[in-house]
Amino acid sequence: MTITPSYINGEWITSNATQHTPVYNPSTGEILSQTPHSSRQEIDQAVQSAKNAFIGWSTTPVLKRATVLFRYKALLEEHFSKLVGLVVKENGKTLPEAKGDVRRGIEVVDFACGIPHLIKGETLPQIASTMDGASTYEPLGVCAGITPFNFPAMVPMWMFPLAIACGNTFVLKPSEKTPLTANRLAELAKEAGLPDRVLNVVQGAREAVDALCEHPDISAISFVGSTRVAKHVYTTGTSHGKRVQSAGGAKNVMIVMPDADPESTVRAIAGAAFGCAGQRCMAGSVVLGLEQAGQGIVDRLSDMADKFKILPTDSNPDSDMGPVIDGAARERLLNTIENLAGQGAQLASDGRRGLPNSGFFVGPTIVDHVTPDMNLARDEVFGPILSVGRPESLDEAIEWMSLSGYGNGAVIFTSNGGAAREIARKAPCGMIGVNVGVPAAISQFAFSGWNQSFFGDLHVQGMEGVRFYTRQKVVFSRWDSNYVRKLGW
Ligand code: NAD
């Protein structure tokens, strides 16, 4: 049995844990590795490792820290295909989706390479006749990152590159279901010249998360995962005096106006609903067609879904759709489809047909005539099940967006500038797409979830990311010009 190692003190370590979570190849069901549920003592070793590195790393000149990041970026590019292969293997994404996962992560490293500029403070000379004022951004100390299974490369890279660029040291706890890419990212960081102990990776599950949230030597926690755990991490971390940014689940609504371009709209909806097998926090989960748009979407999407090549992604680079993460996720989704009977909705495309014999596959599923009172309209599905609703007005469509309480994304397809502006202004979410299926923020912008999709003040990525991983110091300096003159300078 292969045990997924942790990376502590610059060394690969096998945990003594007795409990493990299997890492599957979701395309086949084969077990690739077993992730140990590391103990509190093992988590403490990783935190102490990061703590010991803090003074040296935080006083390393910022230009030198940037140099390591530039080398890291070059190495990530060099190893791009292999990293993509790892994501395909342990997560089950299709080749283009896995490329997107790694690429988006590298873009955050690109952003972090600009740290000498990003971290500059401000000065205000002569705030009094003999006094200057200045502010600087200082690192926090040891930061921890806790990540989900659905973006094994991008989400860890939302966190540690920017944290270490700012001069912090880091403990990453990847998802126990997809830890292999994270380990490879750490290996490459070492190869790029990142000093040992600056970045540590600990394997684990619930107990590891609680140990990190409660650890007195951790200053800040970045979390991405389901809302239930996001809330728990936020509450536990903040009550232990830490700064926390905690991103949760979502339910993203897409509105289609009758004047939307049919071809590009349906392509974008298919990508948003079924891309990554629906396992995205920015997945389009509900589509609302106004007037005749509803029927048009269902007809076109069902045709498209019938033609999807659903194949094991590890052996078929041309697969259109991959599996979900494990048997439990598959079971949950199949039950959701099964339980539709009697709820008044209609199955327009049944994802239980024509699936590979092994692996954890669920095909594209379209459920038409969903109404706001149904669970499908409000709960995160996290799988390839798209609900279609038929509101009578734009205002009614906007009301659907509040049903779930989440607040990641909202999308409108239209050629009407007024309707687009209405959604951009009124949708109760932080990321809006106008004729864009997945308006996920890129590295220069904050990934700005609202409501039950985010707990905290400063989001990951962009300048909010820099602010999250630093704290401000202001310095006021008084000088005595007579003294300078007396010395003859
Ligand atoms: P998850 O919440 O089950 O797990 C995320 C992390 O929390 C993992 O590292 C896991 O070990 C840990 N964890 C799980 N249960 C725990 C518990 N009871 N106590 C303490 N820690 C626990 O999420 P997942 O299934 O890996 O990922 C899918 C979820 O992540 C979806 O809800 C998705 O919307 C969300 N997500 C959100 C974003 C975003 O930016 N908002 C991005 C990606 C994924």
Average pLDDT rounded to a whole number, residues 104-112? 98
Quickly state the pLDDT bin for 342 (edges 50, 70, 90).
Answer: confident
Locus of tokens 């060394």: 11
State which of 226, 379, 429 you would mutate to test the pocket of ligand 1, scoring each by most atoms of that ligand within 8 A of its C-beta. 226
Q: Is 288 in the pocket of ligand 1 (CB under 6 A)?
A: no
pLDDT for 135 equals 97
* CB-based burial label for 481 (10 Å; 0-12, 13-18, 19+): exposed
* CB-based burial label for 410 (10 Å; 0-12, 13-18, 19+): buried
Token code pair at residue 2: 């292969």
Over residues 263-291, the pLDDT tens digits come to 999 999 999 999 999 999 999 999 999 99
pLDDT for 294 equals 85
Nearest protein Cα to ligand 1, atom 38? 281
Residue 339: partners with Cβ closer than 8 Å, 6 or more residues away: none
CA gap 385, 351 in Å, rounded? 8
Question: What is the maximum alpha-carbon separation in the chain?
Answer: 93
Average pLDDT rounded to a whole number, residues 69-76? 98
Token code pair at residue 89: 């293997």
State which of 21, 209, 236, 324 you would mutate to test the pocket of ligand 1, scoring each by most atoms of that ligand within 8 A of its C-beta. 209
State which of 281, 379, 454 you would mutate to test the pocket of ligand 1, scoring each by most atoms of that ligand within 8 A of its C-beta. 281
Over residues 360-400, the pLDDT tens digits come to 999 999 999 999 999 999 999 999 999 999 999 999 999 99
What is the torsional sign of CA 68, 73, 77, 82?
positive
CA gap 320, 483 in Å, rounded? 75
Nearest protein Cα to ligand 1, atom 13? 206
pLDDT for 387 equals 97
> Which amino acid, residue 373?
D
Over residues 199-213, the pLDDT tens digits come to 999 999 999 999 999
pLDDT for 486 equals 76
Question: H or E stretch including 247?
Answer: strand 243-247
pLDDT of 489 over the 70 cut = no
Residue 483: partners with Cβ closer than 8 Å, 6 or more residues away: none
Q: What's the predicted TM-score (pTM) here?
A: 0.97
CA gap 362, 167 in Å, rounded? 44
CA gap 419, 244 in Å, rounded? 36
pLDDT for 463 equals 97
CA gap 329, 220 in Å, rounded? 31
Catalytic residue numbers? 281
Over residues 399-413, the pLDDT tens digits come to 999 999 999 999 999
Quickly state the pLDDT bin for 316 (edges 50, 70, 90).
Answer: very high
CA 156 to ligand 1 center in whole angstroms: 12
DSSP SS3 for 14: coil
Q: Is 234 in the pocket of ligand 1 (CB under 6 A)?
A: no
pLDDT for 36 equals 98
pLDDT for 313 equals 98
| 366 neighbors 388 (Cβ within 8 angstroms) | yes
Report the mean per-residue pLDDT for the chain. 96
Average pLDDT rounded to a whole number, residues 101-124? 98
Q: Is 205 in the pocket of ligand 1 (CB under 6 A)?
A: yes
